[in-house]
Amino acid sequence: MSAVVQDPQLMVVNPPLVQGATDLHDLTDQISSVVEAKVYETPLKYWITLAFTGSIVLLLGAMLTYLVNTGIGVWGNNRPIGWAWDITNFVFWIGIGHAGTLISAILFLFRQKWRTSINRSAEAMTLFAVMCAGIFPLFHTGRPWRAFYWLFPIPNTDLNIWQNFRSPLIWDVFAVSTYFTVSLLFWFTGLVPDLATLRDRATSKIRQVVFGILSLGWRGSARHWRHYEQAYLILAGISTPLVLSVHSVVSFDFATSVIPGWHTTIFPPYFVAGAIFSGFACVMTLLLIARWTLNLQNLITIKHLDNMNKIILVTGSVVGYAYCTEFFIAWYSGDIYERFTFLNRAFGPYWWAAWSMYTCNVFIPQLYWFRKMRTNLWVMFIISITTNIGMWFERFVIIATSLTRDFLPSSWGYFSPTWVDICTFIGTIGLFLTLFLLFARFLPMIAMSEVKGVASIEKHSFAGQVEGSPSHR
């Protein structure tokens, strides 16, 4: 590929998405070298981090073993707050996953080319987040090895009962397990051409065999690509309503009940916006770390991060609007229980959680109105973390404050997490980070074939502008 003279004025307004790499081979090298590095070539800080997060996974294992051995009484759930940290964490993790599908599917359908540098890691994040989410309901059953008979309609002879399909809880099982499967297939489909690249570059026998099998014999034939592109479009097309349905179904768990604070029709869109908000923040945290440790500045540019910050601002404001609507409807409904629940939410025993949530989710992201803030790495790193703290609090606030003071003052109560609650949640964070670190090191973190396609189109569109035919990407 020859060097292209780019119009400097256009470069400022619309900088190229792939920088630094002079040709396609450079791109392949840049991305594959991370995967192909020898153990000692990977920075020591990577292995130390992995050892640290790996030890947190051991903590998770210990907590779950303790839970199964003793019973779920080791968690702090009790009347009146029967759903506490476990479902908070479940909704939190599912929400994190949503940004991955949004980036890979919805932005694909909207032809947003900037997604190519980040979609692979966002999809991986989805998978890992859903795994972490699944742990909580599974272990909340107390007997996870029996849970498959309770959760899925599998004929069984010991209980001789079926699930109740009128309950949103079973819808949730279908939604989340479908979500995981479809995300996995989508992710793997996108990975196959890149696995073929790794196979073709492999020098050791083990790598040749492993990548030879994983890449399914992909050779980039025009016929392969034709089927592949069609399939990718279909998978993106069905993932889009799927991702919107998953958090809607999760919100049905609450919305179909008659508890004041839960029984609202605004929940499905409100939950979906919140999920995208928290998910983008989480992608941002992970990408900033990966960009820094693995030196991916050329592929994950400020333009990518700026675009993501704009989405965080939009979804954060949608969430803020939903908070206001909730309060307005509580007042407008004239229902005294509804009014009490919302006053109690802001000024009751959990006021500190509610105000942490408003601050982190609504007030802080407003900084992103300013371009300076959207392009400052430190600012976006801090906001990505406060957003996730805020979104965790959102779920906790919805769940705990709606249950803490119900219709009878004699049964009011206050929830405090036990040390097992806290360690289990920390353990899932460790599991998530460990899986992500392993992925970043052992699989191509950036979709090579897609980035090459974009780089090639960009090169030619810029070349066209220089020749005098202005065109927009």
Partner 1 sequence: MSQTFDPAILIAQIKDKLGIGDDKVYAVMGEFAEPEDLVKAGRAIRDMGYTKIDAMTPFPVHGIDEAIGVPYSKIGWIAICGALAGITTAQVLIYYVGAIDYPLIIGGKPLFDFTYSIPPTFELAVLFTAITTFLCTWGLSGLPRLYHPSMNYRNAHRASDDRFLLVVEADDPKFDAQKTAQDMRSVGANDVEVVEG
Residues within the interface to partner 1 (CB under 8 A): 1, 23-25, 28, 153, 161-166, 168, 170-171, 174-175, 178, 181-182, 185-186, 188-189, 193, 196-197, 199-201, 203, 205, 208, 212-213, 216-231, 234-235, 238, 241-242, 245, 249, 252, 448-450, 452-453, 456, 460
Which of 323, 327, 396, 416 lies closest to 361 in space, CA to CA? 323
180 or 368: whose CB is closer to partner 1? Answer: 180
Chain centre distance of CA 78: 30
58 or 234: whose CB is closer to partner 1? Answer: 234
Secondary structure element (H or E) that encloses residue 276, with its range: helix 267-293
User: In angstroms, what is the minimal distance from the CB of 129 to partner 1?
Assistant: 18
Residue count of the chain: 473
Please name the amino acid found at residue 280.
Answer: F
291 or 452: whose CB is closer to partner 1? Answer: 452
User: In angstroms, what is the minimal distance from the CB of 455 to partner 1?
Assistant: 9
Give the separation between CA 321 and CA 328, rounded to whole angstroms.
10
Burial, 202: exposed, middle or buried (Cβ in 10 Å; 0-12, 13-18, 19+)?
A: middle
85 or 180: whose CB is closer to partner 1? Answer: 180
User: In angstroms, what is the minimal distance from the CB of 204 to partner 1?
Assistant: 8
Contact (CB, 8 A) for 384 and 284: yes
User: In angstroms, what is the minimal distance from the CB of 373 to partner 1?
Assistant: 35
217 or 413: whose CB is closer to partner 1? Answer: 217
Which of 276, 310, 447, 289 lies closest to 381 in space, CA to CA? 289
Tokens of 241: 């309503």
Give the separation between CA 156 and CA 293, rounded to whole angstroms.
50
SS3 78: strand
**Residue holding tokens 């399914």?**
216
Q: Would you give the DSSP letter of residue 156?
A: -
162 or 407: whose CB is closer to partner 1? Answer: 162
Tokens of 184: 């996995």
Instruction: Give ∠ CA 49-87-359 in degrees, rounded to 5.
Output: 70
270 or 393: whose CB is closer to partner 1? Answer: 270
User: In angstroms, what is the minimal distance from the CB of 223 to partner 1?
Assistant: 6
77 or 239: whose CB is closer to partner 1? Answer: 239
396 or 462: whose CB is closer to partner 1? Answer: 462
User: In angstroms, what is the minimal distance from the CB of 414 to partner 1?
Assistant: 31
Q: What interhelical angle do 44-70 and 419-442 show, nearest 10?
A: 140
Instruction: Give ∠ CA 157-138-83 in degrees, rounded to 5.
Output: 115
Which of 431, 390, 127, 440 lies closest to 287 in space, CA to CA? 440
186 or 436: whose CB is closer to partner 1? Answer: 186
User: In angstroms, what is the minimal distance from the CB of 153 to partner 1?
Assistant: 6
Contact (CB, 8 A) for 195 and 152: no
Burial, 55: exposed, middle or buried (Cβ in 10 Å; 0-12, 13-18, 19+)?
A: exposed
User: In angstroms, what is the minimal distance from the CB of 243 to partner 1?
Assistant: 10
Give the separation between CA 147 and CA 154, rounded to whole angstroms.
11
User: In angstroms, what is the minimal distance from the CB of 460 to partner 1?
Assistant: 8
User: In angstroms, what is the minimal distance from the CB of 218 to partner 1?
Assistant: 7
